[in-house]
Amino acid sequence: MKPPSEEHDLIRWLDGEMDETERAAFEARIKANPALAQEAEEMRALSAGIRAHLPAEMAVPHADFFNSQIQVRIGQMEIDEARRREAVAPVLGSLLSWLRQSWLTAAGAVAVAVVAFLSLRPSSEDAHSLILSSYTPSAGVQTVTFHDDNADATVLMLDGLEEVPADRKISGISISRSETEPEMASTTLFDAAGSPQLVIFRDAAGNPQFWASKPRG
């Protein structure tokens, strides 16, 4: 194992962190030492490869939605902020002036309209839950959101979802508490009797995976 300073020399030279004198000295060492020269060349090629294949800028998927979503959330933040100052007229005023910005795209405008509609209702009904915005990754799936007074509930309807096969067994579990491991790597779900029912963890791709303490079904 080489002493740390030698390893540091190699990468400092590679990354242009050496001054003139040091660089000249190191390059002399490379000339005199084929093994070092090989190591330096391999590392240089690796660096170049990484830079070539890790672009510093990437196209954001659904870029328009990315922007309009930010605007909706900023808008909601502004409304909350105004509300916190506890006056009705300023809330409406700031909301209306913000709505007047007609440059918002259609998607943003629809979301804005939802927020505005739900925010402008009489104060007694402001105690409802709200859907501020929604996004479905699948193109074929649409969302419809509304508040149903009769049901006294807020609805988020997902239309166009793939149907679950009839022979698929869907079973529920009854969970009354969860425990997350200190490093937050996994969560165990317990039923009312205190028996563990399920463990959730994230796999390498970031997707949730389940491990059951008893067989499914």
Partner 1 sequence: MPASAATDLGEVSDIDLVKRSQAGDTRAFDMLVTKYRGRIYAMTYHLIQNETEAWDLAQEAFIKAWRALPNFKLDAGFYTWLYRIAHNVTYDWLRKRKIQGDGEFDDERTEHRVAAGAEATPKGDPAPDMALRNAELGHRIQAAIAKLSPEHRQVIVLREVEGLAYEEIAALVPCSLGTVMSRLFYARKKLQEQLKDVYETTL
Partner 2 sequence: MRTLLPALALWIGCALGVAGQENAAPSAKPATEGKVWGGLVFATNDGTELTGSQEKAPATLPQLNTRLSKVFDFKHFEILGQHHQDIFREYESWVVPSRDLFLKIDSNGPADRGGVKLHLQVWREQQVLVKSDAVLRPDSPLFIGGPKWKGGRLIFVLSLERK
Q: Is 54 helix (H, G, I), strand (E, B) or coil?
A: coil
Best CA proximity match to 142, nearest among 127, 124, 161, 126: 161
Whole-angstrom Cα distance, residue 9 to residue 3?
A: 10
The residue from 33, 38, 101, 136 that contacts partner 2 (CB under 8 A) is 136
CB of 7 to partner 2, least distance (A): 30
Contact 200, 186 (CB under 8 A): yes
The residue from 18, 27, 29, 43 that contacts partner 1 (CB under 8 A) is 43
129, burial (CB in 10 Å: exposed 0-12, middle 13-18, buried 19+): exposed
72, burial (CB in 10 Å: exposed 0-12, middle 13-18, buried 19+): buried
The residue from 23, 27, 131, 196 that contacts partner 2 (CB under 8 A) is 131
| Binding region for partner 1 (CB under 8 A) | 4, 7-8, 10-12, 15, 17, 34, 37-38, 41-43, 45-47, 49-51, 53-63, 66-67, 69-71, 73-75, 77, 98, 101, 103, 137, 183-185, 202-206
Residue numbers of the site for partner 2 (CB under 8 A)? Answer: 72-73, 76, 80, 83-84, 126-138, 141, 143, 148, 150-159, 161-164, 166, 168, 170-178, 180, 184, 187, 189, 198, 200, 207-208, 210, 212, 216
